[in-house]
Structure 1
Amino acid sequence: MKMLALYTLPDDPVAFLAHYKAVHLPLVRKIPGLISANVTHVTRTLIGQDGNFLLAEMTFSDGEALKKALRSPENAAVGADAMGFAGKIITVMTGEVLDI
């Protein structure tokens, strides 16, 4: 299972990245059950709506691990931080990885 966070272009990309790296990612890494976290800096949109900046992908072993993570105090801290520095530019989704 994955949790995805899509950020659109912030007003100040340099300040955003500084906070993201120094504060937000260390909080994310404390989420229980997190197997991996990857962040992609979007450099170009080929098809679809332009203006995306970062895509964060967090992997969990299964749906139950993700549910536990979402209910954790560590995830609450991540959410509070995200709303503080990126509340208007973030979309968070969950999804199941398909074996296709």
Structure 2
Amino acid sequence: MKTSDISTKPGGSPRSQDPNRHQRPCRVQLVRRIPGLRRFLLSHPRALGAVGAGPVPYLVAELWFDDAAALKAALRSPEMADTGAHAEALGVPMTMFAGDVEES
């Protein structure tokens, strides 16, 4: 089970203009404290083709858990609450998705 947190910047401004980039080490420390977390990845997506009119993602955080029960427990934890509060305080629009991972 994994979550993908996709952060966008209003107006699609480049990462070099990201006023919150100095906060990333603090956020990484908070995320690593989440109970049941098995894997944590950050990526900076790049468009492979034409970019639409919507916001351009500038950071994707993937949080991996053993199963849905571990994710549910993590979502109820004080550590996840701290992480969410920190992310919300940054004022960056973010969308969170969760789902099972299938390997083939």
Q: Distance in 2 between matches of 1:35 and 1:43?
A: 26
Q: What is the percent sequence identity of the aligned residues?
A: 35
Aligned to 1:63: 68
- RMSD of aligned residue pairs (Cα, Å): 1.9
Aligned to 1:96: 100
Aligned to 1:17: 21
Which of 68, 81, 84 pairs up with 2:86? 81
Unpaired runs of 5+ residues, structure 1, are: none
Aligned to 1:3: 3
Q: Distance in 2 between matches of 1:9 and 1:97?
A: 27
2:22 alignment partner AA: A
Matched, 1:46 2:46: no
Q: Which has the larger radius of gyration?
A: 2
TM-score by length of 1: 0.84
Aligned to 1:29: 32
Deviation of 1:94 after TM superposition, in Å, equals: 1.0
Q: Please say if residues 9 and 55 of structure 2, whose CA atoms lie closer than 8 Å, have aligned partners that are also in contact.
A: no
Q: Number of residues paired by the alignment?
A: 97
Deviation of 1:99 after TM superposition, in Å, equals: 3.6
Moved over 4 A (4+): 47-50
Q: Distance in 2 between matches of 1:45 and 1:78?
A: 31
> Deviations 1:42-96 (Å, cap 9, x if unpaired)?
233536545110111010000100010000000000010011003x411111111
